[in-house]
Chains A and B, each alone.
Chain A
Amino acid sequence: MSAHKIWLILSSEFWRRVRSKAFILATLLVPVGFVILAAAPALFGYLAEQTDERVVALVDETDQLADSLAAAGGDRITFESTDAPIDSVRAAVRGGVYDGYLLLPASLLDGEGEATYYSMEGGGLTLRTQIDGMVNRVIQERRLTSAGADASVLSIVRSDVGLSTRKLAEDEGTTADSSLALTAIGYAMAFIIYFAVFIYGQYVMQGVIEEKSNRVVEIVVSSVRPFELLMGKVLGIGAMGLVQMVTWAVLVGGGFAVAGPVLALVMSPEDLGVAPDASQQAMAEAAGASLPTLPLDLMVWFVLFFLGGFLLYASLFAAVGSAVEQQQDAQNLLLPVMTPLIVPILFLFFIIESPNATVSVVMSIIPFFSPILMVLRAAIANVPLWEIGLAFGLLLATFVGMIWVAGRIYRVGILSYGKTPGFREIAKWVTYD
């Protein structure tokens, strides 16, 4: 086997794809789309809130809550007390003078009955939650005061405690637990690997089919060994995939780095619920327009498992491609390749719920599943190094075995024209000398 020949094929396969318009467009546009999709809701949501300063008429039958409620409303909701009869308040709402009116029955002070918000448009979830919170807090305070609670009790009740969770590390100490974020990341990584392996694997298959149906393959294998061609092609497309994903990561990261300050220009810290002197990073995070920082080892495993998974599946895609003359004929033959790729997707939720259950551990070590499942586990739980190492070692060993089998199928397949072979015949090819 000539490493030089493999390198020649690898670089030709790589460059001819990387400089194509389709590749350049996809590589540039996908991250732009991603940043826009991620940042836009944050921005629009914020802007919507800003323009949504509501004026609410307050029909306060308790006669005690209006002031404190007006204070609680802040910038977002202006409560205007009115003594006008309900009919005229309703007319005013219908006439657009108010966005709605809030009716507070006298019984509220005794903890009975309920406040009612009337509006033309229903109000939306955010508004409902806001008003509900405000009314409850105001009534709670009023009732505590009237029950004789002193200032210290009130301040206890007012205190707003956040919940922070921390993760126990294998060794001493704790690490900041962003388990929700990490679950999302693990989930995203699992899907990225699934799609990447699937799509780049299809590229490999297409490349093989094209070369075969073009008939150029016979000239190439009169110059290099079929196995060298197979390896060069798989590695070249793998390199292309890696470059594309790294570019995406850099562009998305860069996009958020730009999006943060941009958001900061139009938003004020108080509105986001962070300290007035909060950093841009904190603001962007609060606005949902940032990426959580990834642990380095997770990124390394992600790349390694992506490459391992790609190589394993790409060799199989190549074998299937070599057996057919056009894409449509590949459907049947793809079944045994696609099945092990899809199975791990069915286990994603199970593993997120119980990442260290025996089933999860075993599934994530099986070579055909590990590129997706082990990365997910590594993201959401503390997986012992030996488990990851074992999974990766098995993955590599399986790749070596599979590329050998694939190479034997490939070398016969690329020169066989005519009827699409069945599994039986392909199995026979492996035994040919």
Chain B
Amino acid sequence: MAYLDVSNVTKRYGDTVAVDDVSFSAEPGRILGLLGPNGAGKTSTIRMITYITVPDAGGIRYDGETVGPWSQQRMGYLPEERGLYKRLRVKEQLVYLGTLKGLSKAEAADRADHWLGRFDATGWADMKTEELSKGMQQKIQFIATLLHDPSLLIFDEPFSGLDPINADLLRDIILELRREDRTILFASHRMEQVEQLCDDICLMARGDVVLRGPLRDIKEQFGKNTLVLEFDGDDHFVDQLEAEGLVRVNTRSAHRAELTLADGTAARTVLDRALDATDELYRYERTAPPLNEIFVEVVGEDEARRMQEEAATAPAG
């Protein structure tokens, strides 16, 4: 199986630089997480990989050759904003999309039958797509992505808008595809989701790659500076620790806190304070930081906050 190589790719839209000199690669049998807040350039990058747009500079190779119509036929793409032709019947829709990917009509029809069967959806074949529920349409969308047996799969925010059953189904599909040695690219701004699935990550911010590599290495590189506490009783000590500049609070609820140690703070200090203040301490764990925190650390706290705010107002892209 082949791998995907993105090297020094730049893409401008008018005066905006959407992707700035980005390089990374994805290998077969592994899942690459393309991460970053909205507006980081993930979708712009994906559109170049899928040959929907072409880079202004740099090159994208798949299997050693520059991507083009030939590689589109070997890629399956599940875009962030998903949709189907409403008035087409389900099977007809799948066959049409399959033939656009280079399948013959007969092949496409056979595979559509196969996949509809696998998703317990054989009965939907002659229904109009608009008659299906949203969850059913999501399944049809997965089938459309997989129908032509692609060796490179690209999922853009795959879990957004999925109901829990389909989210599980998709997770299983993605893991199965990985076992089959396909190359999988998975873009998301929901970093905690990606963490569970990815082998490698490529962290993007404002069109740049700010961090990339195997997830395990990265986690090690950032050390065990994160504490997870679960307790009962007075949680005022967390405020005090933060006020004294000893820790930064990542997440916090009534009985749980996730803290990042400030430089020079001994983990023990936090444990002592917690034991003094709380009625009961169930969990005290020193661990590697979650991706969210790594991201904040890499781009800086102020920058990260600004990006989050921008992402909340700007359109996706």
B51 CB–A CB distance under 8 Å? yes
B13 x A219 contact (CB < 8 A): no
A433 x B83 contact (CB < 8 A): no
A8 x B100 contact (CB < 8 A): yes
Closest to B46 in A: A222
Return chain A residues, CB-CB under 8 Å to B82: 215, 219
- Known contacts: A219-B144, A428-B14. The answer to whether A415 contacts B52 by CB under 8 A is yes
B159 CB–A CB distance under 8 Å? no
Return chain B residues, CB-CB under 8 Å to A167: none
A16 x B84 contact (CB < 8 A): no
Return chain B residues, CB-CB under 8 Å to A223: 72-73, 97, 100-101
Q: Contact flags (1/0) for B28-59 with A, using CB distance below 8 Å?
A: 00000000000000000001001111101000
Of B85-93, B109-117, B203-211, B284-292, the one contacting chain A is B85-93
Residue in A218, A411, A417 with the greatest tally of chain B CB atoms within 10 Å: A218
Return chain B residues, CB-CB under 8 Å to A428: 14
A218 x B56 contact (CB < 8 A): no
A222 x B50 contact (CB < 8 A): yes
A94 to chain B, nearest CB (A): 66
Which residues 217-255 of A have a CB within 8 angstroms of B? 217-226
A292 CB–B CB distance under 8 Å? no
Q: What's the Cα separation between A411 and B47 when bound, in Å?
A: 12
Return chain B residues, CB-CB under 8 Å to A226: 52
Which residues 133-167 of B have a CB within 8 angstroms of A? 144
A214 x B97 contact (CB < 8 A): no
Return chain B residues, CB-CB under 8 Å to A417: 315
A432 x B99 contact (CB < 8 A): no
Which of B13, B14, B79, B85 is the one whose CB lies under 8 Å from A218? B79
Closest to A225 in B: B69
- Known contacts: A8-B100, A222-B51. The answer to whether A215 contacts B315 by CB under 8 A is no
A315 to chain B, nearest CB (A): 20
Q: What's the Cα separation between A226 and B72 when bound, in Å?
A: 13
- Known contacts: A5-B100, A432-B13, A433-B56. The answer to whether A219 contacts B315 by CB under 8 A is no
Which residues 7-49 of A have a CB within 8 angstroms of B? 8-9, 12, 16, 20
A296 CB–B CB distance under 8 Å? no
Q: Contact flags (1/0) for B253-282 with A, using CB distance below 8 Å?
A: 000000000000000000000000000000
Number of A-B contacts (CB under 8 A): 65
Q: What's the Cα separation between A225 and B101 when bound, in Å?
A: 12
B64 to chain A, nearest CB (A): 21
Return chain B residues, CB-CB under 8 Å to A300: none
B interface, over-half SS: loop
- Known contacts: A2-B69, A214-B85. The answer to whether A219 contacts B79 by CB under 8 A is yes
A215 x B83 contact (CB < 8 A): yes
B247 CB–A CB distance under 8 Å? no
Q: What's the Cα separation between A223 and B101 when bound, in Å?
A: 6
A415 x B77 contact (CB < 8 A): no
What count of chain B residues pass the 8 Å CB interface test?
30
Closest to B14 in A: A428
B81 CB–A CB distance under 8 Å? yes
Closest to A414 in B: B52
- Known contacts: A415-B47, A432-B13. The answer to whether A219 contacts B77 by CB under 8 A is yes
Q: Contact flags (1/0) for B98-130 with A, using CB distance below 8 Å?
A: 011100000000000000000000000000000
Q: What's the Cα separation between A225 and B100 when bound, in Å?
A: 10
Which of B47, B56, B83, B100 is the one whose CB lies under 8 Å from A224? B100
A3 CB–B CB distance under 8 Å? no
B99 x A222 contact (CB < 8 A): no
B194 CB–A CB distance under 8 Å? no
A215 x B81 contact (CB < 8 A): yes
Return chain A residues, CB-CB under 8 Å to B83: 214-217, 219
A418 CB–B CB distance under 8 Å? yes
A433 x B54 contact (CB < 8 A): yes
Q: Contact flags (1/0) for A388-427 with B, using CB distance below 8 Å?
A: 0000000000000000000000010001011000000000
Closest to B93 in A: A216
- Known contacts: A2-B69, A8-B99, A215-B79. The answer to whether A221 contacts B84 by CB under 8 A is no
Q: What's the Cα separation between A214 and B88 when bound, in Å?
A: 13
Which residues 180-226 of A have a CB within 8 angstroms of B? 211, 214-226
B237 CB–A CB distance under 8 Å? no
Which of B52, B75, B99 is the one whose CB lies under 8 Å from A221? B52
B62 CB–A CB distance under 8 Å? no
Closest to B73 in A: A223
Q: What's the Cα separation between A224 and B99 when bound, in Å?
A: 11
Q: What's the Cα separation between A417 and B14 when bound, in Å?
A: 16
Residue in B52, B77, B79, B84 with the greatest tally of chain A CB atoms within 10 Å: B52
Q: What's the Cα separation between A5 and B97 when bound, in Å?
A: 11
Which residues 242-292 of A have a CB within 8 angstroms of B? none
B46 to chain A, nearest CB (A): 9
Return chain B residues, CB-CB under 8 Å to A215: 79, 81-83
Residue in B13, B54, B75 with the greatest tally of chain A CB atoms within 10 Å: B13
Q: What's the Cα separation between A415 and B97 when bound, in Å?
A: 19
A216 x B84 contact (CB < 8 A): yes
B77 x A222 contact (CB < 8 A): yes
Which residues 123-168 of A have a CB within 8 angstroms of B? none
B81 x A218 contact (CB < 8 A): yes
B3 CB–A CB distance under 8 Å? no
Closest to B95 in A: A12
Return chain A residues, CB-CB under 8 Å to B77: 218-219, 222
Closest to A220 in B: B100
B24 CB–A CB distance under 8 Å? no
A364 to chain B, nearest CB (A): 40
Closest to A232 in B: B100
Return chain B residues, CB-CB under 8 Å to A411: 53
Closest to B50 in A: A222
B-binding residues in A (CB < 8 A): 2, 5, 8-9, 12, 16, 20, 211, 214-226, 411, 415, 417-418, 428, 432-433
Can you report 25 A-B residue pairs in the complex whose CB atoms are below 8 A from each other?
A: A16-B85, A214-B83, A214-B84, A215-B79, A215-B83, A218-B79, A218-B81, A219-B77, A219-B79, A219-B83, A220-B97, A220-B100, A222-B52, A222-B75, A223-B73, A223-B97, A223-B101, A224-B72, A226-B52, A411-B53, A415-B53, A417-B315, A418-B315, A428-B14, A432-B14
A-binding residues in B (CB < 8 A): 13-14, 47, 50-54, 56, 69, 72-73, 75, 77, 79, 81-88, 96-97, 99-101, 144, 315
- The 5 A-B residue pairs with the shortest CB-CB distance in the complex, in nearest-first order: A215-B83, A214-B83, A223-B100, A215-B81, A216-B83
